[in-house]
Amino acid sequence: MHLSDKAVDPPGEAKPDLDIFLDYAARMGFRDKDGGPLVHWHDPESAFEAWKRCSAGRPCDYTGLTYGKLRGPSGIQWPCNEHAAQGTERLYTDGISWAHPDVCENYGKDLVTGASDSVVEYRSLNPDGKAMIKAAAYLPLHEMPDEEHPFQLTTGRTLYHFHTRTKTGRAPQLNAAAPDVWVEVSAADAAERDLNEGDLVEVSTPRGALRGRLRVTDIRPGLLFVPFHYGYWDTPAGHGPDGNTPGRAANETTITDWDPASKQPLFKTAAAALTLVERGDGRAAPAPTTTASAPSRTGKAGVPPTEGGPTARVTQSGEAPWHGREEGLR
Q: Which residues, 6+ apart, have CB-to-CB distance to 206 below 8 Å?
A: 143, 149, 270, 271
The one-character DSSP state at 119 is H
Tally of CB atoms within 10 A around 323: 8
Q: Pick the binder of other proteins from 206, 208, 260, 280 (CB under 8 A).
A: 260
The one-character DSSP state at 264 is -
Query: What gap in Å lies between CA 288 and CA 158, rounded to an integer?
Result: 8
DSSP helix/strand/coil, 211: strand
- Minimum CB distance to other proteins smaller for 68 or for 140: 140
Q: How far is the CB of 121 from other proteins (least distance, A)?
A: 9
Tally of CB atoms within 10 A around 4: 7
Q: Pick the binder of other proteins from 46, 97, 113, 275 (CB under 8 A).
A: 113
Query: What gap in Å lies between CA 187 and CA 300, rounded to an integer?
Result: 10
Q: Does 280 bind other proteins (CB under 8 A)?
A: no
- Amino acid at the residue 107: Y
The CA-atom distances, in angstroms, between 245 and each of 211, 232, 233, 240 are 10, 9, 12, 8
Q: Pick the binder of other proteins from 4, 244, 256, 311 (CB under 8 A).
A: 256
- Minimum CB distance to other proteins smaller for 93 or for 256: 256
Query: What gap in Å lies between CA 109 and CA 289, rounded to an integer?
Result: 43
Q: Does 257 bind other proteins (CB under 8 A)?
A: yes
- Minimum CB distance to other proteins smaller for 54 or for 115: 115
Q: Nearest Cα to 230, choosing from 252, 214, 208?
A: 252
Q: Does 258 bind other proteins (CB under 8 A)?
A: yes
- Minimum CB distance to other proteins smaller for 110 or for 307: 110
Per DSSP, what are the bridge partners of residue 185?
Answer: 216
Q: Does 114 bind other proteins (CB under 8 A)?
A: yes
Using the contact rule CB under 8 A, the part of the chain among 108-116, 176-184, 191-199, 286-294 near other proteins is: 108-116
Using the contact rule CB under 8 A, the part of the chain among 76-84, 91-99, 218-226, 252-260 near other proteins is: 252-260
Q: Pick the binder of other proteins from 56, 112, 132, 277 (CB under 8 A).
A: 112
- Minimum CB distance to other proteins smaller for 92 or for 138: 138
Contact 150, 186 (CB under 8 A): no
Q: How far is the CB of 47 from other proteins (least distance, A)?
A: 31
Q: How far is the CB of 253 from other proteins (least distance, A)?
A: 16
Query: What gap in Å lies between CA 201 and CA 315, rounded to an integer?
Result: 42
- Minimum CB distance to other proteins smaller for 271 or for 285: 271
Q: Pick the binder of other proteins from 116, 166, 275, 298 (CB under 8 A).
A: 116
Which residues of the chain form contacts with other proteins (CB under 8 A)?
110, 112-117, 139-140, 142, 256-258, 260
